Amino acid sequence: MLSLYLERFKRNRLAAAGLAIIVLLTLGAALAPALCPQDPTAQNLTQRLQGPSAQHWMGTDDLGRDVFSRLLTGTRVSLSVGFVAVGIALGVGTCLGLLAGFFGGRTDTFIMRWVDIMLSIPTLFLILAVLAFLGPNIYNVMIIIGLTSWPGLTRMVRGECLSVREREYVHAARLSGVSTPRLLFVHILPNVIAPILVSATLGVGGAILTESALSFLGLGVQPPMPSWGNILTIGKDYLHIAWWLSVFPACAILITVLAFNLLGEGLRDVLDPRT
């Protein structure tokens, strides 16, 4: 089974490229302090707004900080927000979806109406409001993105669980006296894991985008700590004289989100039994 998936995955060039980019970014993020050519927060006012050069690969910003170093350090923010937020959404979404699908009845109605309510609120505005209230910092950003992105996942897990619940092996397991938690997490969950994996991967890309948007609006990571979004904020003020300040972080966001989407789509193709 696994070897079949691996074989299919290898044949899917785009997904493999996506995975390669993600591995590269993760390594870059993990080793950022060692890899940075300059201190990402060190200001040098004699060197402000310099174009890309051998010394500053991606130029410098309005305070003379090295953009490449800031971008590399920002990778840590983006990836950790992406992974942690999706981790939270996965935990909440999967559990609620399993409960709704398995127990049905009132539990199902209650959870799914809650999902409907969550889906009817414009997420970005909710996040903005909550961050304005709690104060902007990276941990709040992770938690709030995670806590607003579970409803779609819940809906999907519920649907899968509804169909798996009716299979005979679930009846058989229940008949042999397997406890309900074990039935849910050992017998049903592994059978619905494929679509969860796909949507989690796509979700990381979405979470990174949201984080960038929040930092851009000044409600995410606070300067001087660099993030792709807040580099862009500075960039927009100097767009006419310092293109490198906007173009490089924008490309970073684009490539990263694209990589996660390619991997997600690839996983969908690989794990789908119909292909």
Partner 1 sequence: MFWTPEPDMLTIDHLTVEYYRRGKVIPAVRALSLSIAPGETLGLVGESGSGKSTVALAVLRLIPPQDGTIREGRILFQDQDLLRMDEEALRRVRGKNISMIFQDPFTALNPVMTIGEQMAEGPAAHGMVVSLEEALTHVQLDPGRVLKAYPHQLSGGQRQRVLIASAILTRPQLLLADEPTTALDVLVQKDILELLFSLQKELGMGVLLISHNLGLVARYTQRIAVMKDGEIVEQGAPKELFSHPRHAYTQELIGALPKLLYSRP
In terms of CB distance, is 1 or 34 closer to partner 1?
Answer: 1
DSSP the chain: -HHHHHHHHHH-HHHHHHHHHHHHHHHHHHTHHHH-SS-TT---GGGTTPPS-SSSTT-B-TT--BHHHHHHHHHHHHHHHHHHHHHHHHHHHHHHHHHHHHH-HHHHHHHHHHHHHHHHS-HHHHHHHHHHHH---HHHHHHHHHHHS-HHHHHHHHHHHHHHHTSHHHHHHHHTT--HHHIIIIIIHHHHHHHHHHHHHHHHHHHHHHHHHHHHTTSSSPTTS--HHHHHHHHHHTTTT-THHHHHHHHHHHHHHHHHHHHHHHHHHHH-TT-
User: 159 to 198, contacts with partner 1 by CB under 8 A?
Assistant: 165, 167-169, 171-179, 186-187, 190-191
133 binds partner 1 (CB under 8 A): no
In terms of CB distance, is 4 or 241 closer to partner 1?
Answer: 4
104 binds partner 1 (CB under 8 A): yes
In terms of CB distance, is 17 or 173 closer to partner 1?
Answer: 173
- Least CB distance to partner 1 at residue 191 (A): 6
217 binds partner 1 (CB under 8 A): no
- Least CB distance to partner 1 at residue 3 (A): 12
In terms of CB distance, is 65 or 165 closer to partner 1?
Answer: 165
- Least CB distance to partner 1 at residue 174 (A): 7
Residues 227 and 215 sit within 8 Å (Cβ to Cβ): yes
- Least CB distance to partner 1 at residue 119 (A): 24
1 binds partner 1 (CB under 8 A): yes
Q: Which of 105, 122, 135, 181 is in the footprint of partner 1 by CB under 8 A? A: 105
In terms of CB distance, is 27 or 172 closer to partner 1?
Answer: 172
d(CA 78, CA 225): 12
Count of residues that interact with partner 1, criterion CB under 8 A: 20
- Least CB distance to partner 1 at residue 109 (A): 11
User: 246 to 275, contacts with partner 1 by CB under 8 A?
Assistant: none
Binding residues for partner 1, per CB under 8 A?
A: 1, 104-105, 165, 167-169, 171-179, 186-187, 190-191
